[in-house]
Chain A
Amino acid sequence: MRTIIFRTIAPYLAALMVLFSIFVLLRGHNEPGGGFIGGLIAASAFAIYGIACGVAAVRRAISLHPMSISAAGLFVAGLSGLPSLFMAQPFMTSQWWYLNLFGVEVPLSTPLFFDIGVYLVVVGSITSIALALEERESD
């Protein structure tokens, strides 16, 4: 698998896929996409990078342990249900803020943060599995 073509192209491909995964994550509220599928795309980016350049390079690149990323995602998703407490509404009721950035209305919401949490959980757990499998292979 480690041909010169693949090794040259893999970092660019991985970077593009991570970028695309964030795009898919953010458009997911009203259109096809979302945290789960975005997370899968990002995880496959890391997997491709791992196949091309080795698992150690991926671990250096993401600097945190994948399981910690996963846990951080769980934490964010759990927190995203709490703001409705202060609005006297039930758990996980969505709250919206409409920010005005340079004349453009940017809707922010708790579902977005929940989705980011899902994204991180999926990225972390799938990357963790993929890296473990790739490490086995190179032994």
Chain B
Amino acid sequence: MAASNYNVDLSLAMRMDPVAPGDWLLVAPLVITVLGGALCLMTRKNTDAQPKVAIIFLSLLVAACAGLLARVLDKGVITMVAGNWLPPFGIAFTVDALGATLALTSSVVALAAAVYGIGDVDSSGRRYGFYPFLMLLMTGVCGAFLTGDIFNLYVWFEVLLISSFGLLVLGNERAQLDGAVKYALLNIIATTLFLIATGLLYGILGTLNMADIAIKAREAGLQGPLMTVAVLYFLAFAMKAAAFPVNFWLPASYHTPRIVIAAVFAGLLTKVGVYALLRIFALLLPDARVALADVIALVAIATMLTGVLGALAQTDIRRLLGYLVISGIGSMLAGLAIGTTPALAGTIFYAVHSILVMTALYMAAGVMRGLGGSYSLRELGGLYRASPAFAAVFLMLGFAVSGLPPFSGFWPKVLLVDAALVGGHGWIAASILVTGLLTTIAMGRVWIYAFWRGGAEGTADGQLTSVLVPAPGMTSASIWLPIGLLLGLVILLGVQPEFMMQVSGRGASTLTEPLGYLRSVFGGAVQ
């Protein structure tokens, strides 16, 4: 077949105008992580080279995401349709301030994890593929944040899910397989629901392009079938995001893998679910969000409170942090339940804060284990004496996760509580504040037991019983650099929140007034 003999008018099917090289930043995160992941996989046996390759590629990823965010803030929403086909038939990548911000935050966290992994993941873990899985996980995460096609979103969910299975069972311990089965089962159910809902949506509206869905769903109005699809989506992504009552997989699995893997999971995976909820309910099906607002509010309040109460009841630090992840998801859902632009901005800011602080806290838990020899609050003690500097770091992270100023957790809660009071949702505002108080108590409990108390459980006040011998490697830069980086960002967002406020405001207004998003996909003709 000699295609050169055909004389076809390509402009009917393809975009003919040239694409600015800067728009390639949109797919750069995917290309970088796929190529980097493939290189890491090829050099799997060379365990010394792997971290270097991964760190180089993840640094490129951070740079690309930062460039992408700068471009989105400069030019507005960017769209690139793979293969140059006209939307809605080509698979579109469409990025707004929301997607770019979350992609940048995630890539920073992944870079921190790659550095932390130098010390935490031994050579057998590297041979089993820690770095390739991490890179391909980032392909899935970035792809989910950047795509403008709902079936493509499903594909990225699969990519990140498969990589996360690999990471979760790295090491093949009994507890890990146990955790992985629970994690895998619930996530596969959620993904299947997602796929079923997408099939139904395609049957109703005849399109998979997100901008096209947003237009057609607004034209169709709220009808029974669309509402069914919306409920299915809500259930599917509530499972992914670990919202009450479908969150039991998270505390059952997050304490089993290596701590750096738990840190990445806690930072990223649930937030992808929250992102999908934001995208679908705020942008695609806003009428369904209004109809479901009360349900979402109830789920949000229950998630917040059960999460933090669970955290109060735990003695294993990793499980405690897992419950705090859940509690944070509740706060983010609260913004979706209120649904105004400031509330959604609060949700976006909270997601960024939660990604950074939860990853840092899990890494800090790894350091506590390294210094004190245990994850259990019953056995830990005397950490303040072992490392006063680390005690200060942990205290700051604890304040940040509780939402106390001057750290990053404060501002999103201000936005959310303010939006809740303005919208007349007193209960939501009250729950956010109560959750903040209980989180402070939970973190204070960790602080008192692990840092202030002189030794393990039963040590009398003022006595120092345990002489701690830190595990080897606890002074290496690969441990402290990533924690320092994340803590620095947490403090920066707390002290200088204006930039983040502005960015999350931009992200939220694209969701509530999507004209810019739609025009970016279909050109200026869209009303």
Contacts and interface: CB of A to CB of B under 8 A. Distances in A.
Interface of A: 29-30, 65, 67-68, 70-72, 74-75, 77-79, 81-82, 84-85, 88-94, 96, 98, 105, 107
B38 interface: yes
A105 B2 CA distance: 8
Contacts of B84: 84, 89-90, 93
A71 B40 CA distance: 8
Given A67-B41, A75-B39, A78-B31, A98 B21 contact: no
Given A72-B42, A75-B39, 8 more contacts: A67-B44, A68-B44, A71-B40, A79-B35, A84-B84, A90-B84, A91-B80, A98-B2
Contacts of A85: 21, 24
B27 A91 contact: yes
Nearest to A87: B18
A33 to B, nearest CB: 13
B525 interface: no
A36 to B, nearest CB: 15
Given A67-B41, A78-B34, A88-B19, A30 B80 contact: no
Contacts of A96: 3-4
Secondary structure class of chain A's binding surface, majority of residues = mixed
A90 B83 contact: yes
Contact of A78 (B15, B38, B82): B38
A90 B82 contact: yes
A94 B1 contact: no
**Max chain B CB contacts within 10 Å: which of A78, A90, A98?**
A90
Interface residues of B, number: 31
A89 to B, nearest CB: 5
Contacts of A74: 34, 37-38, 41
Contacts of A29: 1
A72 B18 CA distance: 31
Contacts of B42: 68, 71-72, 75
B239 interface: no
Contacts of A107: 1-4
A68 B31 contact: no
A92 B83 CA distance: 5
- 3 A-B pairs closest in CB distance: A71-B41, A88-B18, A75-B38
Contacts of B278: none
A72 B34 CA distance: 11
Interface string B54-89: 000000000000000000000000001111100000
A65 B21 CA distance: 37
27 contacts: A30-B1, A68-B41, A71-B41, A71-B42, A71-B44, A71-B132, A74-B37, A74-B38, A75-B39, A75-B42, A78-B31, A78-B38, A81-B27, A82-B31, A84-B84, A85-B24, A90-B15, A90-B23, A91-B31, A91-B93, A92-B83, A93-B83, A96-B4, A105-B2, A105-B4, A107-B1, A107-B4
A75 B27 CA distance: 15
Interface of B: 1-4, 15, 18-21, 23-24, 26-27, 31, 34-35, 37-42, 44-45, 80-84, 93, 132
A107 B4 CA distance: 9
B131 to A, nearest CB: 12
B83 A94 contact: yes
A96 B4 CA distance: 9
Contacts of B3: 96, 107
A68 B42 CA distance: 5
A121 to B, nearest CB: 9
Nearest to A72: B42
Given A74-B38, A75-B38, A89 B19 contact: yes
Nearest to A106: B2
Nearest to B44: A67
A84 B85 CA distance: 13
Contacts of A72: 38, 42
Most buried by B among A67, A70, A84, A89: A89
B31 A90 contact: no
Nearest to A79: B35
Contacts of A93: 83-84
A90 B80 contact: yes
B81 A90 contact: yes
Nearest to B83: A92
Nearest to A88: B18
Nearest to B45: A65
A90 B26 CA distance: 10
A91 B34 contact: no
Residue among A68, A74, A96 with most chain B CB within 10 A: A74
A71 B38 contact: yes
Nearest to A111: B83
Nearest to B33: A78
A88 B21 contact: yes
A26 B12 CA distance: 29
B519 to A, nearest CB: 18
A81 B80 contact: no
A79 B38 CA distance: 11
Contacts of A78: 31, 34-35, 38
A79 B45 CA distance: 23
